[in-house]
């Protein structure tokens, strides 16, 4: 017996969720390819870029970074260990909490993430170029969805 999908969509191309899923997968492949020469995964890049962009006048903890990057704290911990092994970040003693560590990018980490960021921004521009003049509207729509649906961790 053959079944049929009970759907409100006459064509899969009209499903916003399915199209977003397809675009997300395609965009992630583009970003992975842009990051491959730097030997960084996408999440390693995001955490290193966010850490590098943070104000280091105030100590940055792992939890601070996970919150700012909107990543899972446990996954963040695992990725940070990898970045530390690669010599891209360092953990330092917290100035006021003897049990805590602060995070800082190393000079090698800053250099690498800046080169990788240029490649990612180039890949983004090329990927989203077909949107032409609608790019700002598209970005605003994504911002609305993010604000409405993504809870801070």
pTM for this prediction: 0.88
Q: Tell whether 148 is covered by a domain.
A: no
Q: What's the pLDDT tens digit per position in 131-151? A: 999 999 999 999 998 887 765
- What local confidence, expressed as pLDDT, does residue 153 receive? 42
The answer to whether residue 7 sits within a structural domain is: no
Per-residue pLDDT at 150: 65
pLDDT in tens, 40-75: 999 999 999 999 999 878 899 999 999 999 999 999
Contact 17, 85 (CB under 8 A): no
| Entry field: residues in the chain | 153
Residue 60 is part of which domain span?
A: 26-125
Q: What is the dihedral of CA 138, 139, 144, 150, to 10 degrees?
A: 120
User: What total of structural domains would you count in the chain?
Assistant: 1
pLDDT tens-place string over residues 66-101: 999 999 999 999 999 999 999 999 999 888 888 888
Question: Does the residue 17 lie in any domain?
Answer: no
Cα separation, 145 vs 134, in Å, equals 17
Average pLDDT, the chain: 91
d(CA 144, CA 153): 18
Cα–Cα distance measured from residue 35 to residue 111, given in angstroms and rounded to the nearest whole number: 14
CATH code, 41? 1.10.10.10
């Amino acid at each position: 017996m053959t079944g049929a999908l009970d759907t409100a969509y006459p064509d899969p191309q009209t499903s916003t969720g399915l199209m977003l899923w397809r675009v997300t997968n395609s965009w992630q492949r583009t970003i992975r390819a842009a990051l491959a020469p730097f030997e960084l995964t996408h999440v390693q890049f995001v955490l290193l870029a966010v850490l590098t962009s943070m104000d280091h006048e105030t100590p940055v903890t792992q939890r601070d970074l996970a919150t700012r990057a909107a990543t899972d704290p446990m996954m963040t911990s695992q990725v940070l260990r990898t970045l530390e092994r690669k010599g891209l970040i360092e953990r330092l003693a917290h100035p006021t909490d003897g049990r805590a560590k602060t995070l800082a990018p190393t000079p090698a980490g800053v250099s690498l993430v800046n080169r990788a960021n240029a490649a990612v921004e180039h890949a983004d521009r090329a990927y989203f170029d077909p949107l032409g003049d609608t790019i700002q509207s598209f970005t605003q729509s994504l911002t609305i969805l993010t604000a409405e649906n993504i809870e801070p961790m």
